[in-house]
A and B are shown apart, each in its own frame.
Chain A
Amino acid sequence: MSMVAYQNLTRWVLLGVLALMLLGGRLAFAGQSPAEVGAMLKAMADPAGAPFYPVVMQILQVITWALHIVFVWTSIGGLFYAIYGFTRKDPNHQRLAKAMLELSKVSVSLAIVLGVAPLLFYQVIYDSLWYASANLSASWYMMFIVFLLIGYYLIWGAYFTKNRPQLATFFSIGGVIFLLAVGFLIHVVNYQALYPEKWVEWYTSGGTTMNHTGWNIYAFNIFRYLAFLVFPSISVTGVFMMLYAWYFGKRPEFERDYVNFSAKLGAKLALMGGAGWIVFHVLYIFSVPADWNAKGSIFAWLSVLGLLLCAGVIFIAQKNPIGMAIPSLVAGTVATLLIAVFREYLRVSSTARFGYSIYEYKVNLEWLSPMLFVGTTLTGLILYAYTWWMAYRAGRTPKGEVYQANETEDALGNASVFIVTLWAVVFIGTGLIIIARNYL
C-alpha cells in the first residue's frame, strides 16, 4: 500500500473514532433540567430504602461483579480460541480447542450464577438506573434470556461434537455470536443507565409518544463494549491457558510439548488481547462526557495502571509462561478489581451530576437478615473450601487413578456435612419458633 493510502486510511479511522466518541456520550438531548432529573432519580428509589449501609452493598457489588466478569470473559474467549483451534490441523491446537471449549462451557454456568449477586446489590442502591434502563429496552432485555439459552445450548452442541471439528466449529461460532449478543444487550442496558437525563426524552421520542414496545435500543458505545467485553476475553483466556498448563502439566498424560505449547500460546494471546484492552479502555475514558470528570479521576487512571501492571507481568511471562501463571492471575485479578471500581465511579459521577448520591439513600437498618447472610457465607466458605479442594486434587490425579483423601480432608468433609446440616436445622428451627410465636 502506498503512503497516501496509509494516510487516507489513518484519517478515516481517526474520523470514525471521533464520530463514535461523539455518539458515545457528547451529544446530549435537551430535555429535563438537572433539578428535575435529580427529583426523578430520588422518586424512583424504592420507598422501602436500603436494608443496610449502601457502601457495604457497593463494595459487595464491586467484588461480585469482578468474579462474574472473569467467567464471562473465559466463556467468550474460550469459544474464540476453540473456533480458531478446531480449524488447525496441528493436534496441539485440536486438543487445546477441546479444552478451551470445556472452559467455555463451565464458565457460562459460573458467569450466570456469579452474575446474580452484583445485580442484587446494584439494584438495591441504584434501583432507578437498573429498572428504568432495563424497561426502556424491555423486549430486548427478555431476548437476553432467550439468546443466552440458545447460545448455551449451542456450546453444549459443540461440546458433544468436539470430536468432529467441523461441526464443533459451527456450533462454537453460533455460540459465540449469541454470547456476544447477550453481552451487547447487557452493555446497552448498563450504558443507558448512565444517562438519566435522556431517559424521558428517549422513551417519549422527544415528547411525541410512549415507546412501550421495548424494542428500542437507545445508546451504544463501541469502545466500552470492546474494552469491557471483547478484548479482555482474549487476554484473560490467555491467562487461563497459562494456568491450564501450570495445573495439568503435572499429570503424566499431558506431554511436555503440548503443555509448553498451551502456556506459550496463552501468554501470547494474553499480551495481544491485553494491548487491545488497554487501547480501548483509554479510548472509552476519553469518550465519557466531560462533566463526569473521568479524565481527571484517580479511579480512571488506577484502572489504566492496573491494566499496565498486568501487561507488564504478562510481558515478563512470555519467557516462562508456566512459572508466571500464578503471578499473571494475581495481576489480572488486581486489574479486574480496579476496573470494577472504575465502573462504580462512573455510576457515582453520572448520578452526582443531578445531586443524587447512594450514600444518602434512605436506610431502614435491619440486622437479622444480614446475620443470615453472614452465617450462610461462613457455612458456604467451609463447603467451598472442601469441595473445591477435592476438585483440585481430583483434577491433578493421573487418569485411571483414584485420589484417596487424607485425614485432614476427611475431617474437613465431615465438618462440611455437619455444618450444612446445622445450617438447615437452625433455619427450620427459627421458622418453627416464629410460627409458634405469631400464629399459635
Chain B
Amino acid sequence: MDVLGFQPMWYVPAIGSATVIAVIATIHVMASHTSVGASILLAYLATKAYRENIPQLYDYIKKYLLTLLVFSYVSGSISGPGIWFSATVANPRGISALIHNFVWVWAAEWIWFVAEVTLVYILFYTLGRIDQKSWLKLAWIFAIGSWATMYIIVGILSFMLSPGHEKWFTTGNILDAFYNKNYFPHLLMRSAYMFAIAGTIGIVIASLMRKDIPEKVYKDIVRTMSYWGIGGLVFGTMFFGWYFSTLPERSLVMLAGIVPTWYYGLIFGILLILLAHFVLTSIKPTAARAYIALPIYALIFFMGVYPEEKIRETIRKPYVAGEFVWVNQIIARDVPAKDIKSEVDIINEKGYLQVNAFVPEGLKTITPENKIMAGKAIAILQCSGCHNVTGASGLRPFAKKFEGMDSEDMVYGFLSNYLTPQAHPPYMPYFVGKDEELRALSAYIADMISKGGRVSAKIEVPKATLEAHK
C-alpha cells in the first residue's frame, strides 16, 4: 500500500468545520483578551490602592477577579483547548505542522498558563489575608505572566499566516519563523485592544457596585477604565494599520478582493461604539450602566472579534499553516530544512483516492458504477475545508457556485481551466489528482445540480463495486 499521511475526514455540512473553529476561537479571544487586559488593569488598580491607601478599591478588584474566574477563566480555559481540538478534527495536518514546529514554544506558554490559572485563584483567595505589599507582587507577577501568554501565541499565529521570511524554508530556524515581520504590530494591536475589552467589563462591574463604594472611588474606577479603554482603542487602531502593512502580498490581494466590505464596516462600527461609550463614561462616570456596557461587550464578539477571526482565516488561504500545507491538507511545497516533500507529484501520479488510507477500497479505482460516489468523496476530502459541497446554503455552497451546470462536461470544462497551477485563484489550491478523478468530481457536481442542488452527505460504495472487490 502506498499511502500518504491523511487522517479520517470530518465533514460538517452547510456551516463547515472552519466555522466551528471560528466560533470557538472567537469565544477564546474574548475570554483571553478580557483576562489578560484585566490582569494589567487590576495590577494597576492594586498599586493605586496600596500607594494612595484606598481600601475600597480592593472590593472592586475582588469582584472583578470573581467575574474573571466565573466567566473568562471557565470559558477561556476550555475554549483554548477547544480551538486545538477543533483544529485537530477540522484540519489535522495544519495543526500538526504548527505543533511539530512549535512544540517547545507552546510548552513554554504552558508554563505561563499554569502560573496564570493558579495565580488568579491565589489572588482571589489571598486578598485581605496576606499583607498588601506581598499581594501587590502577586498581582504584578500575574499581570506580566498573563501577558506572556500573548507574547508567545502571537508568534505562532504569525507563522500560521506565513513563515514571513523565505529563508525559513532552508534554515528551519525557529526564530526566523516566530519573529515574523508582523509579530510586533500584531502583538501591540492585540495588547492595546484588550484594554478596551477588559475596560468594558470593568465598567459593567463598577456600575453594579455603585451603591457599595464611595462616589469618589466609584468615579475614579470608571474613569480609569474609560481612559485605558480610549488609549487602547487609539493605539490599537494605529497598530491595526501597521499590522495590515506587514501582511504578505497574497493576503493583501485577498483583503482587497474577497473579504466582504461589510466586515470592515462591522469592525470600524464597534470601534466607534466603544470609543463613544468610553468618552461618555469618562466625562460622566455616573452615566455608566451595566445594561448598556454589557450589550456593548456582547457586540464586540459579533462585530469585532468574529469578523477579525474570519478575516485572519481568509487571508491565510490557500494555506492553513506556514505556506506549505494547503487548506485541503495536501503538502504543497518542499521545506528542505525539515526534509518535507511536496505531495503534489505523487498524488497526480497515483491518484488522490489511492493515497488516502481512509477511502474505502471500492472507491479507489473509478468505474462507471462508482464514479459519482468517488466524486463526492473527492469533494468532501478536497473541497469541504472551504465549501458546503452537498447543498446550497452556508459556507460557499457548491450549488450556488455551479448553478446551472448540470452536465459533467460543462463542470469539467470549467474546473479543468480554472483549477490549474497557472490559472487557479490566489485563495484556492489548484486541483491535485488524476484526470479521471477530476472527471468524477465533475460528474458528482453535475449530478448534484441536476438533483436540485442538495444531496445527502452519505457516501455509499455501490453494491456492484463491493461485489467485485469480494
Measured CB to CB, the closest approach of chain B to A213, in angstroms, equals 7
The answer to whether B103 touches A121, judged by C-beta atoms less than 8 angstroms apart, is yes
Assembled-state Cα–Cα distance A213/B121 (Å): 39
Q: Which of A7-15, A135-143, A350-358 contacts B (4 or more CB under 8 A)?
A: A135-143
Residue A383 CB within 8 A of the other chain: yes
Given A40-B357, A44-B7, A106-B121, A212 and B380 touching (CB < 8 A)? yes
Residue of A nearest to B135 (CB): A390
* Count of A interface residues, CB-CB < 8 Å: 109
Instruction: Check B409 for interface membership: any CB of A closer than 8 A.
Output: no
Beyond A113-B114, A131-B88, whether A434 also contacts B134 by CB under 8 A is no
Query: Which of chain A's residues 221-237 have a Cβ closer than 8 Å to chain B?
Result: none
CA–CA, A148 to B85, complex, Å? 13
CB-contacts of B82-118 with A (<8 A):
82, 84-86, 88-89, 92-93, 96-97, 99-108, 110-115, 117-118
Total CB contacts across the A-B interface at under 8 A: 318
A130's contact among B88, B113, B380, by CB below 8 Å, is which? B88
CB of B338 within 8 A of chain A? yes
A109 at the interface (CB under 8 A from B): yes
Interface centre among A109, A117, A199, A401 (most CB of B within 10 A): A109
Judge whether B420 is part of the interface by a CB distance below 8 angstroms: no
Q: B126's closest neighbor in chain A, by CB?
A: A394
* Residue B10 CB within 8 A of the other chain: yes
Stretch from A75-83, A275-283, A312-320, A362-370 that touches the partner: A362-370
> Would you give the 0/1 interface string for B122-149, flagging 1 where the beta carbon is closer than 8 Å to chain A?
1001101111011001101100110110
Q: How many residues of B contact A (CB 8 A)?
A: 105
A123 at the interface (CB under 8 A from B): yes
Residues of chain A in range 103-137 having any CB-CB distance to chain B below 8 Å: 106, 109-110, 112-117, 119-121, 123-124, 127-128, 130-132, 134-136
* Closest B residue by C-beta to A362: B339
The chain B residue sitting closest to A399, CB to CB, is: B129
Asked if A387 lies at the interface with its beta carbon under 8 angstroms from chain B, I say yes
Minimum CB–CB distance from B397 to chain A (whole Å) comes to 17
Query: When chains A and B are docked, how far (Å) is the Cα of A129 from the Cα of B157?
Result: 25
B461: nearest chain-A partner, CB-CB: A208
A417–B141 CB distance below 8 A: yes
B11 CB-CB contact with A under 8 Å: yes
Return A379 CB to nearest CB of chain B, in Å: 7
Chain A residues within 8 Å of B184, by CB = 431-432, 435
Q: Which residues of chain A have C-beta atoms less than 8 A from B361's C-beta? A: 204, 207
CB-defined interface of B58-84 with A at 8 Å, one 1/0 digit per residue? Answer: 000000000000100111011111101
Known: A43-B5, A417-B140. A368 touches B175 (CB 8 A): yes
Select the stretch in B225-233, B278-286, B305-313, B452-460 that faces chain A: B452-460
Give 9 closest A-B pairs by Cβ, nearest first: A138-B10, A369-B104, A138-B89, A48-B100, A380-B111, A376-B108, A434-B179, A212-B11, A135-B8
23 sample A-B contacts, Cβ–Cβ < 8 Å, listed by A number? A47-B339, A48-B335, A110-B118, A120-B99, A121-B103, A134-B92, A136-B8, A139-B10, A141-B85, A142-B85, A145-B24, A145-B81, A152-B78, A153-B74, A200-B357, A364-B338, A369-B105, A377-B108, A386-B137, A391-B118, A404-B131, A405-B134, A431-B179
Task: Please report B residues at the A interface, Cβ cutoff 8 Å.
Answer: 1, 3-11, 20, 24, 70, 73-75, 77-82, 84-86, 88-89, 92-93, 96-97, 99-108, 110-115, 117-119, 121-122, 125-126, 128-131, 133-134, 137-138, 140-141, 144-145, 147-148, 151, 155, 164-165, 167, 172-176, 178-179, 181, 183-184, 331, 335, 337-341, 357-362, 377, 380, 457-461, 466, 469
